[in-house]
A = this chain, B = another copy of it.
């Protein structure tokens, strides 16, 4: 099977308690564990121990992101492919990372620290596996269902897009092209959604946003209401993306890390060619882009 999905994103925050208050009360994630200087969080409908890790630091940003694969054979295959490309891989043993099994860590061409693991402690979604209900009561804030995707920047997105496709069998769903036709950004998926990771032109190791999935356009508005009542600055939206067709709101955590609530989008079939967008559509949303 290979990569299942985006596993977790580790964010730097400059005030850990304030960050936890924001991510649990406003975004509505659930705290699942702590380590010195670190807090582990998950969306309510996720079963794995964490999908967001907060690390106290003196500047915001993303430390790393990780993909979950199926099994140890996947790790072996990926390790070989990485080494064949001359990428230095660090093996991390079971127990080295909190609540997580063995993993590979490496630096991507675009300068991101990326991890791949295949086992994480299962804490469940709070519903039984026998005759479950559909929702949890007493959730707070936006309460997204799962972490959806990450958008990062690279000085050479084309190189990164090739890297993730070749090493991890990602599928390119959409791409941004310059006026000469050269690729300057793209969207990659493993989970049959429009993207698990997107790469845009920008500084090496750069982080643009991490997105949380909500059920509907109605929930995107409700999220914006909750953000506004909590005086969280909204960067853009509610609006609709050109790329992915998704409904979205961008906003900032108290330290400047961009978050997104996202829903909608289409079912990307691997047997279709990618959609291409001209570079001048970068930064535009659908409803303001065509007139």
Instruction: Point out residues on A near B: beta carbons under 8 Å.
Output: 1, 4-5, 45, 47-48, 68, 70, 122, 129-135, 137, 145-146, 191-193, 213, 215-218, 221, 224-234, 237-240, 242, 245, 247, 249, 264, 266-267, 269-278, 281, 286-291
Closest 10 CB pairs of A and B: A192-B192, A233-B291, A218-B218, A224-B287, A228-B290, A130-B276, A134-B245, A231-B291, A133-B229, A47-B272
Instruction: Report the minimum CB–CB distance from A127 to chain B (whole Å).
Output: 9
Are A47 and B245 in contact (CB-based, < 8 A)?
no
CA distance A279 to B145 in the complex (A): 28
CA distance A221 to B135 in the complex (A): 12
User: Given A135-B229, A137-B226, A229-B135, are A287 and B239 neighbors across the interface (CB < 8 Å)?
Assistant: no
Q: Which residues of B contact A129 (CB under 8 A)?
A: 273-276
CA distance A276 to B129 in the complex (A): 6
Q: Which residues of B contact A273 (CB under 8 A)?
A: 129
Q: Which residues of B contact A276 (CB under 8 A)?
A: 129-131
In this complex, the member of A145, A215, A270 whose beta carbon has the largest number of chain B beta carbons within 10 angstroms is: A215
A-B contacts, 18 listed (Cβ < 8 Å): A4-B270, A5-B267, A47-B271, A122-B272, A129-B273, A129-B274, A130-B276, A131-B242, A133-B228, A134-B225, A134-B228, A137-B226, A191-B192, A193-B267, A216-B218, A228-B286, A232-B291, A249-B287
Q: Which residues of B contact A275 (CB under 8 A)?
A: 129-130, 132
Q: Which residues of B contact A122 (CB under 8 A)?
A: 272
Task: Identify which of B47, B68, B266, B281 contacts A145 (C-beta below 8 A).
Answer: B266
CA distance A70 to B169 in the complex (A): 14
Are A238 and B133 in contact (CB-based, < 8 A)?
no
CA distance A53 to B86 in the complex (A): 51
Are A234 and B264 in contact (CB-based, < 8 A)?
no
Are A264 and B192 in contact (CB-based, < 8 A)?
no
Q: Which residues of B contact A277 (CB under 8 A)?
A: 130-131
CA distance A228 to B145 in the complex (A): 19
User: Given A221-B247, A247-B221, are A238 and B287 neighbors across the interface (CB < 8 Å)?
Assistant: yes
Chain B: which residue is nearest A1 at the CB level? B270
Instruction: Report the minimum CB–CB distance from A140 to chain B (whole Å).
Output: 9
Are B287 and A137 in contact (CB-based, < 8 A)?
no
CA distance A281 to B130 in the complex (A): 11
CA distance A273 to B130 in the complex (A): 11
CA distance A217 to B230 in the complex (A): 22
Are B229 and A291 in contact (CB-based, < 8 A)?
no
